[in-house]
Structure 1
C-alpha cells in the first residue's frame, strides 16, 4: 500500500478549486474555507454540553457492521452532555452518527453557511459526527455518492483516502459500500491485492475542511475526541443515479439477505470480495 500526503491549500478561488480539484476529482484540505463561520470559534465541548446536553443520542461501536440482528444498529443511548464529557476526557470506541442533531436543534444552521467555492449544495442533509480518541470509521465510501466537505472542530482527525478505482483492490464487499480492510495494519499475506493499492493520507485539524470527491473510499481516525460537520454537494445527475442504486441494493438486498442469512451472507460477501480482488490483482500483474 502506497500513501501520499493530501495537499493543504489556502486562498483557493472557486475557479482554481474547479480546475485543480473538482474536475479531476482530487482531494484537498482547505485551511481557511470556514474561517468566517461563527461555528469555528463558538462550537466547543462546553458550549454544546451547556446548550444541548439534555438530548438523548444513539451511539455506535466497532460492531456496527457485524452480521446478525444488530447489523448497523446502535450500541446504546446516552445523554449528549455525558457523551461529550466521555469523549473529551478518555478514549472510547463509541461514535455518534446517523443522528441529525439539526432536527433537534435547528438554530445550529445559523452558525455556518454553504461556501461559494462550489454550487449544488444539498441544503437539507448535513450531519455532525462525534467520536472518542481511538475510535475510527471503517473503510467505506458514502452511499449517497455526493462530494463531501468535512470540517473539523477543536481537535485532530487522521484521514485515509482511496480513489473509486481502488475498490476491488480494497476488497470491496458486493451490495455494500464497505471494505473489511484495516488500513493501519494491512495483512498482505491474507489480502495480497493491498500491495497494489495507492492512496492519500493527512491530518485534519481545527478549522480545516477536507474536500472528498464522490465515491472516494475513506477511513477516519479520531486522534483526539472531537467532532466535525459534513456538507454535501452534487454537480451532475450521475451522482444522484449512483445514490439511488446504492440505496436500493443496500436497504433491499444487503439488509434483507443479512436478516435472512446472517453469517452466511457475510461470508459470501467476503469471499466474493476476495475473488474480485484476485482478478484485479492479476490484471495489474499482466499490465
Structure 2
C-alpha cells in the first residue's frame, strides 16, 4: 500500500492570470518547467559555481537526528566551509543539509543571477533562501512557520517532493506546538500498520530537475528528499487566507517562544510528551 498521492500538474509556461485563477486562488500546487529560462542562474548555478562564489564561507548544517530538548530553534548540528561541504556532497551520501541560507544577506552577488517572477504572489524581496542536500537526505514532513505561498526553484540533480494541504494535518501525526509530523515516519515508505491514519491523507507528489519550479500553496506540508545531490532556492509571498495569517502570527510570536520555554523547564520530557500526543490524538480520530 502506498500514500494517496496525485501527480502534481505540470505546465511549460504560464501567464500571471492563469496562475492566479488556476493555482493560487484554489490553492493547488503546480510545477512550472520553464519559468526561469531567462535567469542567468539556470545556466550558471551548479556546484562548481557555488563553490566559486561561496566556497570560503562557513555554513550551518543540519541532519535528520530526532529533535533534542537541548537544541534551540533551528540550531545547526554542525558547521563547515561551503567548498568542503560541496566536496562531501559529490564524494558520498551524507545526511547533512543546508536550509534557510539567506542569499541576499550571505552572498549578495548572487542576486544578479535571478529576478522575482511577477506571477501574482507578492514575493518578499528580502527572503530568497537556499537549500542543499546530499543523496537520499531528506527533511521531516513539515510546514513553514509563516504559512507562506512558496516558489521553489531546483538546481542540479533530482529531488522528490511530497505535499499535503494544511488541513490534512489531522491524518499526518502532527506534533503539538511544532511545525513537524512525528519524526519516525518515513514518508517515502510509510508503515501503515504503525501509522494507520496516513491511509486517509490525500496529497501530491512530483520530482524536480534542474531549472524547474514548484509552487507550494499556503501552509502546505512538504517532505523533500534529494534523489541525487542538489540545491534549491525558495521565494515566499505572505499568506492571504486570514486564518493562515493568524496562525502564522501565533507560530512566530507565541508557539515558538512557548516551545522554547517548555524545553528549558521540562527538558526531554516535553519532547517525548509531544510525540506521544501526536500518536494518541491522531489515532483517536480514526
Q: TM-score range by the shorter chain?
A: over 0.9
Partner of 1:87: 89
1:229 is aligned to 233
In 2, distance between residues paired with 1:99 and 1:235?
21
Which residue number corresponds to residue 68 of structure 1? 69
Q: Partner residue of 1:269?
A: 274
The C-alpha deviation readout for 1:69-114, integer Å capped at 9, x for no partner, is 1354212111111111111232100001233243121121121111
What is the DSSP-based 3-state SS (H/G/I as helix, E as strand, rest coil) of the residue aligned with 2:204? strand
The answer (yes or no) to whether the contact 2:69–2:271 under 8 Å persists in 1 is no
Per-residue CA distance 1:184-233 (angstroms, 9 max, x = gap): 23222222111111111110111100000011001000011110000001
Partner residue of 2:209? 205
- Out of 168, 186, 201, the position equivalent to 2:190 is 186
**Residue 215, structure 1, aligned to residue 219, structure 2:** yes
Say if 2:253 is the partner of 1:248. Answer: yes
* Residue 12 of structure 1, CA deviation: 1.3
Instruction: Please give the secondary structure, in 1, of the residue aligned with 2:157.
Output: coil
Q: What pairs up with 1:4-43 in 2 under 5 angstroms?
A: 4-43=6-45
Deviations 1:126-176, CA, capped at 9 Å, x for gaps? 100011111101100011111000000121100000111110110111111
CA distance in 2, matches of 1:101, 1:85: 20
> Does the 8 Å CA contact 1:145/1:240 hold for their aligned counterparts?
yes
Distance in structure 2 (CA, Å) of the matches to 1:199 and 1:221: 16
- Report what 2:129 is aligned to: 127
Question: What is the CA–CA distance in structure 2 between the aligned matches of 1:170 and 1:104, rounded to whole Å?
Answer: 35
CA RMSD of aligned residues (A): 1.6
Which stretches of structure 1, 4 residues or longer, exceed 6 Å deviation after superposition? Answer: none
Aligned residues: 280
CA-CA distance at 1:237 after TM superposition = 6.6
Contact 2:152 2:214 in 1 (8 A): yes
Unmatched 5+ residue regions in structure 1?
282-287
Q: Is the 8 A contact 1:175 1:249 kept in 2?
A: no
Q: Distance in 1 between matches of 2:90 and 2:245?
A: 37
C-alpha separation between the residues in 1 aligned to 2:77 and 2:121? 37
Whole-Å separation in 1 of the counterparts to 2:285 and 2:24: 27
Q: Partners of 1:248 and 1:268 in 2: how far apart?
A: 22
Q: Under a length normalisation based on structure 1, what TM-score does the superposition of the two structures give? A: 0.92
User: 2:268 and 2:255 mapped to 1: Cα distance?
Assistant: 17
1:98 to 1:19, Cα distance in 2 relative to 1, 3 A: closer
Residue 235 of structure 1: how far off its partner (Å) = 5.3
Query: Are 1:195 and 2:196 matched, yes or no?
Result: no
CA–CA distance in 1 between the matches of 2:259 and 2:103?
A: 27
